Chain A
Amino acid sequence: MANNPVAPGTWVQIRIQILPPGQRAPQVPPDTAQVPLIMLAKGFLVGEAEIGDTVRIKTLSGRILEGELVQVLPRYSHDFGQAVPELLSIGPRVRALLEGGKEQ
């Protein structure tokens, strides 16, 4: 039986392969043609399952989708990034221009 079961109703993310590599649209470039078209969707888990299982979810619009369970309580991981030294010098330089500068 399951070692780390995910409870029904948990907010999860699933992965669905829409098109396999050989069946991509004819107009896509070679690098895209050799990889599958993948879709990720989120919703509330229907039934109990483990990561990697084929599961069903109920989405925010109330639809039922089926796919591989990949994440539980998925994290938003985008952020503001690391400081960029080239950006930090812009403010002081243009302020110095405005303070010292004469219009032509």
Chain B
Amino acid sequence: MKDNSYQAVMARSNDIMKQAVGIDYTRFVRGRLAFDYQAMMTEAGYSLDEVAAIQQETGVGNTPLYELRNITRLVRLTAPKGKGARIFLKDEAANPSGSFKARRAALSVYHAAKHGYKGVVAATSGNYGAAVASQAAARGLKCIVIQEAFDSRGVYQPEIAEKGRACEAYGAEVLQLSVGPELFYVFLRTLEETGFFNASLYTPFAIAGVETLGWEIARQMREKYQVEPDVVVVTHAGGGNLTGTARGLRKAGCRARVVAASVDLRGLHMASDADFNRKSFTTGHTGFGVPFATWPDRADVPRNAARPLRYMDRYVTVTQGEAFYVTELLAQLEGLERGPAGNISLAAAMALAREMDRDQVVVVQETEYTGAGKHVTAQLSFARQNGIEVRAGDPADSVPGRSIILPEHPGLIRAVDIDLDGLRRSYIKNALAQLDGAELTAADISFLAEDCRCTPEFVQAIAREVK
């Protein structure tokens, strides 16, 4: 009989994954650390035209893009003379299942069906679960979604409770777990038992699914508004949204700067039972954004196709209070009631627009659906119940897990920079730790330089420091 203990299943992880993703990653290995990223994306992924055709079959993509005229006016009231860029918004909530994640799920589920898998499994507490469940329903596949959902008191994070409900609405089996990284163990056991496809967020095709989003932004801005975006702001967590959007923008010949934005949750431990319900954002935060930027290969596939440092021109954080505040602005000033997590990049965009010239253009590249639990009122009253202070004031004074401060005035929305060289340094150190003392080859050095957008000299300098 098979040993299903934690240790035994984790030890079988590589074999289970190989079976469940169907990609031979060894084809792309070029050194101890180096692998051919572009070859992996081309050979194991799908072309932009193929992606668009696959997505069209299940109604994914081609979402509307709006100019936020009133929010732009509000920004200009708080901006120095001549400043205050025009702000546009890509309304990804219009996708089936209500978020841009439908783009990734469309490709995963298509690929699973094409290769004869009877079902798909996704380990996610986020919008991706509903997206996979929705696409699986449309293509007639079975679906299991595994969520980290409640703490040891049995208290659900309201947003995750809602996403679980949505998955069940699409006919998926939902397994809900208490807090802890051992969710991955349950995930592996489920893959092994069912023989279903691993609908990972991080395969080449899942990332290719997001490329249409960047490509549509460039095309819609040109055709509808006759302008080129100067900046595209992307909510950043695992890195797939940023990677796919940036690749799509480039394929459309768009040179916009790509700015990542996360909610600042520094100080909260992501595997802590006690911290779990002290956060009001379950995604788009630094608890994913920083570790995935500094070591993408922590994901559930051997080589992560989401490699955000390759494409990130700038990385900023906003506070929980600022993201909630702009969610209210979007509803009250633009008539668009959307979910708070999708508006993290809108908060950052308002701060960036204030620094930019009036004739410049910034595009916020997503929104998400809203509903019970996934709502500002739901999250703020839940935070209060959990002893978090909620008040109006200067959001700069807030402390994640202790207080949420809604800006007293729109001029108090700020984007705080994370030092990219610091992230590159961490990334290179994490990579070097994989070598177990072996020497860096020339192929590894040039791979690392390309993977975090720095010079080979920068890589070598850090390698010397570590020695």
Interface residues of A, Cβ cutoff 8 Å to B: 18-19, 23-25, 27-29, 31-32, 35-43, 59-63, 76-84, 86-87, 89-91, 94-95, 97-98, 101-104
What are 10 A-B contacts defined by CB distance under 8 Å?
A25-B180, A32-B271, A37-B180, A39-B177, A60-B168, A61-B172, A78-B156, A82-B377, A102-B77, A103-B73
Q: Give every chain A residue within 8 A of B177 (Cβ-Cβ).
A: 18, 37-40
* Chain B min CB distance to A24 (Å): 6
**Complex CA distance for A36 and B271, rounded to whole angstroms:** 13
Could you tell me if A90 and B375 are in contact, using CB atoms closer than 8 angstroms?
Answer: no
Q: Which residues of B contact A91 (CB under 8 A)?
A: 328, 331-333
B contact residues, total (Cβ < 8 Å): 67
* CB-defined contacts of A23 to chain B, threshold 8 Å: 6
Asked whether B381 lies within 8 Å of A103 as measured between CB atoms, the reply is: no
CB atoms of B74 and A97 under 8 A apart: yes
Option from A38, A76, A98 in Cβ contact (under 8 Å) with B178: A38
The proximity string for B residues 1-13 relative to A, scoring 1 for CB distances below 8 Å and 0 otherwise, is 0000010000000
| Residues of B146-196 contacting chain A, CB below 8 A | 149-150, 152, 156, 158, 161-162, 165, 168, 171-182, 185-186, 193-194
Report the bound CA distance from A25 to B188 in whole Å: 15
Interface of A is mostly: loop
Chain B hits for A102, CB < 8 A? 77
* Best-surrounded residue of B70, B165, B179, B324 (most CB of chain A within 10 A): B179
B contact residues vs A (CB 8 Å cutoff): 6, 70, 73-74, 76-77, 79-81, 84, 119, 142-144, 149-150, 152, 156, 158, 161-162, 165, 168, 171-182, 185-186, 193-194, 269, 271-274, 324-325, 328-329, 331-333, 372-373, 375-382, 384, 390-392, 406, 410
> Nearest chain B CB to A48's CB is how many angstroms away?
23
In the bound complex, what is the Cα–Cα distance between A61 and B319 (angstroms)? 39
Return chain B residues, CB-CB under 8 Å to A36.
152, 178
Task: List the A residue with the shortest CB-CB distance to B374.
Answer: A78
Q: Is the CB of A82 within 8 A of B182?
A: no
Query: Cα distance A74–B410 when bound, in Å?
Result: 42
A40: chain B residues at CB < 8 Å are: 149-150, 175-177
Which residues of chain A come closer than 8 Å to B6, judged between CB atoms? 19, 23, 25
Are A78 and B182 in contact, with the CB atoms below 8 A?
Answer: no
Residues of A within 8 A of B384 (CB): 84
Closest to B133 in A: A60
Which residues on the B side are within 8 Å of A83 (C-beta)?
377, 381
Contact A94 B165 (CB under 8 A): no
